[in-house]
Amino acid sequence: MLRPASFEHRHRLITRFALIQGFGLMLLGPVLHQGVVESVFVGFVAVAPALLALGSTVPRRVRMLSTVVSLMFASAGLVDLCQGLTEAHFHFFVMVGVVSLYQDWAAFGMCVLITVVHHAVMGLTVPDLVFASAAERADPVGWACLHGGFVLAASVTHLIAWRLNEQQELRDPLTQLPNRAAFLHGLTTMLRESDAPVSVLFVDIDDFKTINDSGGHHVGDQALFHAAHKMADSLRSGDLIARIGGDEFAVLIPATADVATEAADRMAKALQAPMVVDGREVFVTASIGVADSELARSRDGEDLLRDADLAMYTAKSEGKNNVVTYTAGIDRRVREQAELTQDLRVALDLGQFEVHYQPVFCSSGERLCGVEALLRWHHPERGPVSPAVFIPLAERSGSIKEIGEWVLRTAAHQVAAWQRELPGCADLELAVNLSPAQLRDPALLTTIASALHDSGLAAHDLILEVTESMLLSDLDLARRQLNAARTMGAQVAIDDFGTGYSSLSYLAKLPADQVKIDQSFVRELESGATSVALVRTIVDMARALNLDVQAEGVEEVMQQDILAELGCPRSQGYLYSRPLPVAGFASFATERATLPERAGVAQLPFAPVVDPVEQVS
């Protein structure tokens, strides 16, 4: 059945056509040498039902059948005016084609009924006005049934063609899932027919452009196809998943937000395992927004989809590969993010960014061996903005490449200066985070080489940090870019190791010199044997591949002691120092150099609380 908007549009056009046809018969009669009164009567018989179909208060099906009667009466009138001319009968089949636009069996039934009744009744009473041949006039009822059979066959043909066309129009050609129109129709119908809660998931594939750009459209299409069916297989039989855009999907779940969130978690879990496309492994994650009719206080399909979209946008901004449920405050948060994105575009030119440096220690905190460059944004009105907030915005807006290059050049110049000027810092290493956009940038290697040349920093003192999930999203691209950087002499560290699809086989494929144990594992070291076993596994994996290991987020002496027992040689965290501005680090390093060579942590100069922004590696 057509959606209400589609029905009204088509009905209006078909009814106007019926009226024009009826008035046309009034003019055609005299041209065919028929009486004016007879011609006006025939035209009026065709026009009258169409006038009834114009009433807005008349039920939908009654209006439709009234228009169908008008069209078929016009066909009967034309045959009568043409004295049963054989060619005039083809008009019935033309009208069946027009009636097929209603996509309703009742309309086809009315066509068959009027055809049979007209040919039978008129054939018995005034056969000369209906049938041109003697054989037809001799058996009007039989020929009436034959004409009705032809009209029925034409109706069935139109129905089959319409059904096939409808399936094509309501299916996504790539995934064979329902498309946006089919999804909205199903959602609107469910909301209209029941007061029960209904939930919508809005799913966006993370970093799909990276997959598409690096592997080509064929790889991207295959990745979408496999991802779509992985998600579909994780749903219940009563749920509906549709592809509504390039890398966007929507899911209709006839349940509350709690049930929908469970479904979203199952979908996210189903996507975790790598898929093989044309012999290459592709890793896919998704950001998912959840909205339900009770929380959103709306039973409008478009409103629910919009709310789920807003929730998905929030999931993206919170780090991707995440599930967020819509709440009333999300609208405000999205507006704030839009304003921040606009401010972010000019922050670099206005000098609002600053690089802070967090010390990295080797040999259980005995030796300062490096720093990690961490970007800070001092907004003129909002004050310090957390990197967890503005980094995702910079990635989505495309400004991250320019900002990332500025951080690399600024930090390289600063660390090279410290190597020359500060005591105990001659071998200081610099760790800089790379964003996905930078890793995809063909000019990355040129930028690195230029930053090293201009600053005088040795290539072996530069560590490029990339997250595990970023590497696995396109392993081939990562290998090409990072192996080239290692050929230049730079080192590569895998940040947040252990939070993604970690295994010895995958670690062996990654172009890396160092792994950084995620702070979530370090934080739990004191809580039990399980966390210790996890960290020991990571350290053993790294050792087996001759990789260096560094722990992030070390805050307690006991954590440092456990890490030392497990053989982790490098540490970073608030136990040693917060991220420091340039002057703060210079003072820290100078004071550190005056301590005995094997000073313990208790003797380290603890940096003052100068960085109010939460640490984000």
Does 611 score more than 80 pLDDT?
A: no
* DSSP classification of residue 102: G
The rounded distance, in Å, linking the Cα atoms of 379 and 398 is 19
Q: What is the mean pLDDT of residues 552-564?
A: 91
Does 389 score more than 90 pLDDT?
A: no
The rounded distance, in Å, linking the Cα atoms of 431 and 299 is 51
pLDDT digits (tens, 9 = 90+) for 102-123: 878 788 778 778 877 776 777 6
The rounded distance, in Å, linking the Cα atoms of 161 and 167 is 10
Phi, psi of 181 (to 5 degrees): -60, -45
CA neighbor of 465 nearest in space, from 515, 507, 412:
515
The rounded distance, in Å, linking the Cα atoms of 237 and 228 is 15
Q: Which residue has the higher pLDDT, 598 or 63?
A: 63
pLDDT digits (tens, 9 = 90+) for 431-475: 999 988 888 888 999 999 999 999 999 999 999 999 877 776 677
The rounded distance, in Å, linking the Cα atoms of 354 and 352 is 7
Computed over every residue of the chain, the mean pLDDT equals 84
The rounded distance, in Å, linking the Cα atoms of 525 and 564 is 12
The rounded distance, in Å, linking the Cα atoms of 466 and 324 is 25
Does 500 score more than 70 pLDDT?
A: no
Q: How many other CB atoms sit within 10 Å of the CB of residue 159? A: 15
Phi, psi of 238 (to 5 degrees): -85, -5
Residue 152 confidence class, pLDDT cut points 50, 70, 90: low
Contact (CB, 8 A) for 551 and 563: yes
Does 557 score more than 70 pLDDT?
A: yes
**Residue extents of the structural domains in the chain:** 4-169, 180-328, 338-603
pLDDT digits (tens, 9 = 90+) for 335-362: 888 888 899 999 999 999 999 999 999 9
Residue 275 confidence class, pLDDT cut points 50, 70, 90: confident
Secondary structure of 218-281 as H, E, C letters: HHHHHHHHHHHHHHHHCCCCCCEEEECCCCEEEEEECCCHHHHHHHHHHHHHHCCCCEEECCEE
pLDDT of residue 262: 94
Q: How many other CB atoms sit within 10 Å of the CB of residue 232? A: 19
pLDDT of residue 550: 94
Judging by DSSP bridges, how do beta strands 280-282 and 286-292 pair with one another?
unpaired
pTM of the full predicted structure? 0.60
Domain 338-603 -> CATH class: alpha beta
Domain 180-328 matching CATH 3.30.70.270: the answer reads yes
pLDDT of residue 164: 61
CA angle 549, 551, 553 (to 5 degrees): 165
Does 132 score more than 60 pLDDT?
A: no
pLDDT of residue 492: 95
pLDDT of residue 280: 77
The two structure tokens encoding residue 517? 């144990």
Q: What is the mean pLDDT of residues 274-279?
A: 81
Does 602 score more than 50 pLDDT?
A: no
pLDDT of residue 372: 97
Q: What is the mean pLDDT of residues 366-379?
A: 94
pLDDT of residue 129: 61
Contact (CB, 8 A) for 327 and 308: no
Contact (CB, 8 A) for 198 and 246: no
